[in-house]
Amino acid sequence: MNQKDAAYTYIDTHSGAGVYALDSFQATKTGEYDTGIGPLWNATNVPAALQPYLDLVKRMNPSGKMRYYPGSPYVADQMSRPEDRLRLFELHPADVKILHENVRKAEAHKAEQGERARGKRVIIEHGDGFQSLKKLLPPPSRRALVLVDPPYEVKDDYKKVRDALEEALGRFPSGMYAVWYPVLQRMESRQFPDKLKRLPAKEWLNVTLTVSTPGPDGIGLHSSGMFILNPPYTLEPMLRETMPWLVQVLGKDSGARFTIETGTQLTGAASARLAGEGPRTPVGNARRASPLSGKGSLRLPGQSMVREGDEEARGAKPAASAPAAGKTGARRVWRPDGNAQGKPQGEPKAGAAGDGRGPGKRPATAGPRQAAPRTAGPGAGGPRSAGPRSAGPRSAGPRSGGPRSSSGGKGGGNR
């Protein structure tokens, strides 16, 4: 964001306290920093892209002892420029009070160093960050980075994130949106990335980091992810450089790994334009997550019903008739060794060869169909002949399929 001269707005929907004391009762009770910033504190051979982050943390601890850790508002304040704006939201009354105090101390420290006050550069509001996005988008500068980082302690948070992003993209399609999420056993968490992939953003990037093999009880945060809508083109190469190093330093057993996925949005009008109007297919684990056979139960919004006999016809389509992988939003999946997975995923199918149709289309013209005369029942005036009837396709309304899940468990807490 800093590489362009134009100012931007940083929006944090769940800011938290801004700065955290690692010697506090809560921090020492959970000891989460021992598996995160702890191993990185004295690490060597740090990738260049990660060094500014570690330098920032060490500047907060000039004594050399790790006592304080920055939250996202503090990092954004230190990394942004005087012309950029920060809009911070926090709903918890105790945390928003601490956030105000931490921002005040940071501004006072800068004043002592000779920096002039920057007015309303940083504005903190006690409120719901999901709802507050509406009044801030689009920003005056037409550049924005939005961080969405809820605790996910309530399963409704997953739906709130998706709904808020869908509305935000409608108001400001070119904005950059970064979403943190936990990778848990609960159904809402497992399906979350696939739902974000269907949002109307031009491009997306999904990266996950796993530090240990999940336990048999499924308790504990062993893996988490970041999903970025409209990511900068420099981000994927940077992640390919840093993620293997993080797995090596933070990994606890052979289950430690990372994944990187990239793709484009192909729903609605974009799907018809980029994929030759081919039929849409479920992405990710949508089919594996359903115990149903699949006849109509896994249709996506806007996807037509599969009729009897069409399965065989679709299965006989030659691979050569499929659109090029570069035009279908096929995803690249990077494994810990840095190699890409060979087979593209989520690739729409083309129409059957020799059936007189284009990919996913019915014939443009259909002749009238004459119904055979039928004998009327008792009391009728004799057989009647039906007139010509149009054979045009019927439109099947969108229907969401698959089972609902109400699994419990918490995925939040201090990270």
Question: SS3 of 171, please?
Answer: helix
Q: Which residue has the tokens 């990077």?
A: 334
* DSSP, residue by residue, 86-149: EEEEE--HHHHHHHHHHHHHHHHHHHHTTPPP-TTSEEEEES-HHHHHHHH-S-TTS-EEEEE-
Question: SS3 of 145, please?
Answer: strand
Q: Which residue has the tokens 């990092």?
A: 75
Q: What are phi and psi of 69, to 5 degrees?
A: -130, 135
**Alpha-carbon span 370 to 72, nearest angstrom:** 69
Whether 197 contacts 284, CB under 8 Å = yes
Enclosing H/E stretch for 48: none
238 closest CA partner among 26, 112, 378, 52: 52
Hey, how many other C-beta atoms are within 10 angstroms of the C-beta on 349? Answer: 20
**Which residue out of 34, 149, 217, 355 is catalytically annotated?**
149
204 closest CA partner among 285, 258, 263: 263
Would residue 310 show up in a list of annotated catalytic residues for this protein? Answer: no
Whether 39 contacts 57, CB under 8 Å = no
Whether 309 contacts 290, CB under 8 Å = no
Give the C-alpha distances (Å, rounded to integers) separating 118 from 123, 173, 295.
Answer: 11, 29, 60
* Chain CA centroid to CA 33, Å: 25
- According to DSSP, the residues that pair with 208 across neighbouring strands are 225, 259
**Alpha-carbon span 259 to 257, nearest angstrom:** 7
Q: What are phi and psi of 396, to 5 degrees?
A: -90, 125
**Alpha-carbon span 23 to 294, nearest angstrom:** 53
Structure tokens that stand for 122 in this block: 């940083």
Catalytic residue positions, numbered: 149
